[in-house]
Amino acid sequence: MDVRTLDCNYTEEEGVAAAYLLVDHDEAAFVETNTNHAVPRLLRALEDAHLAPEQVRYVICTHIHLDHAGGAGLLMDACPEARLLLHPRAAPHAIDPSRIVAGATAVYGERRFAELYGAIRPVAETRVDALDDDATVPFGQGELRFLHTRGHANHHFCVRAGDGIFTGDSFGIAYPGLQTRGRFVFPSTTPTDFDAEAAHASVDRILASGAERAWLTHFGEVRDLEAIAGELHRQLDDYATLVEEADTSGREGDALEAFCGERVGALFAAELDRHGLGSSAFLHLLDIDIDLNGQGVAFAVKKRRFKRAH
């Protein structure tokens, strides 16, 4: 199996979000689609590999967040034989994207949503397969195996393929431009499902899968899986402590959001210091991640309180 990393130029930056083209004999599959804007790039990669759209057997999204699945509908339109493979909790949202669109609009605002994603196209129910935990599908001369991994999102799976694993957002974010002084990786705690305990378990499951390399959506192939797992476990502990502190602080509404945003900012600043990365060209990208992680932590606090009250 051949794996090609495709830079989707998400947010018009290089090295932020990848999709992957898998080729085995005369079959192709995509893992992640990024947004509608990336679809022409994905089709061009197919052409470069001397494959026709009819040879795409699967379009796979690790979860339904729009930097992973926003282009799925458009890509499925272009690949007439393809089946869309998703987590059972993600599948209904590909068929009817309205709730995902509403959720992302709440996070990004209407204007930014339109710029980033455009119009999300639904996929016909007859072309979508929901994969249970540990399910396999045949591909080329081998198979692909699906491992459900909660923590970042409840509708997330990873894909074991060949000697590697596609980890979506379950095994951290590592921007290539920030890897100059050792491994700089951090967990993604974006709304609305962040759960530190489940995220720890998913990291361990990925490590135990026997994969020798991981393909991160953000961004690219990595081989130091044990070291990355250690970094993620350490930081997930920090996030768990933060959820606890924010909860017991009694803060609500804007005060809660501000507290979580500030504290997440401090966690990132400490990580950057550890790596001496103060002047990196990629720092502006972390503003977005800090903001999203802060929102995710605040959301986790609200969910905890809701659960306790009901």
Q: Give me the helices (H) in the chain, please.
A: 39-48, 66-69, 72-78, 91-95, 98-108, 110-117, 196-208, 225-248, 253-275, 283-309
Least distance (Å) from Zn ion to the CB of residue 206?
15
Total site size for Zn ion, rule CB under 5 A: 2
**3-state class (DSSP) for residue 278:** coil
Least distance (Å) from Zn ion to the CB of residue 192?
11
| Site stretch for Zn ion (CB under 5 A), options 29-37, 49-57, 60-68, 107-115 | 60-68
| Site stretch for Zn ion (CB under 5 A), options 61-69, 72-80, 223-231, 236-244 | 61-69
Select from 10, 29, 46, 65 the one that contacts Zn ion (CB under 5 A). Answer: 65
193 binding Zn ion? (CB under 5 A)? no
Burial tier of 166 (Cβ tally within 10 Å: 0-12, 13-18, 19+): buried
Residues 6+ apart with CB under 8 A from 295: 107, 190, 191, 257, 260, 261
Q: Is the peptide bond preceding residue 30 cis, with omega within 30 degrees of 0? A: no
Least distance (Å) from Zn ion to the CB of residue 170?
9
70's tokens? 């926003």
| Site stretch for Zn ion (CB under 5 A), options 7-15, 135-143, 161-169, 194-202 | 161-169
| Site stretch for Zn ion (CB under 5 A), options 41-49, 57-65, 80-88, 205-213 | 57-65
Least distance (Å) from Zn ion to the CB of residue 100?
11
User: What is the C-alpha R_g of the chain?
Assistant: 19
Least distance (Å) from Zn ion to the CB of residue 126?
27
Rounded CA gap, 11 and 188, in Å?
17
DSSP state at residue 217: T
Contact track, Zn ion, 5-44, x by CB under 5 A: ----------------------------------------
Least distance (Å) from Zn ion to the CB of residue 152?
6
Rounded CA gap, 305 and 259, in Å?
16
Select from 7, 24, 27, 169 the one that contacts Zn ion (CB under 5 A). Answer: 169
Which spans of this chain sit near Zn ion (rule: CB under 5 A)?
65, 169
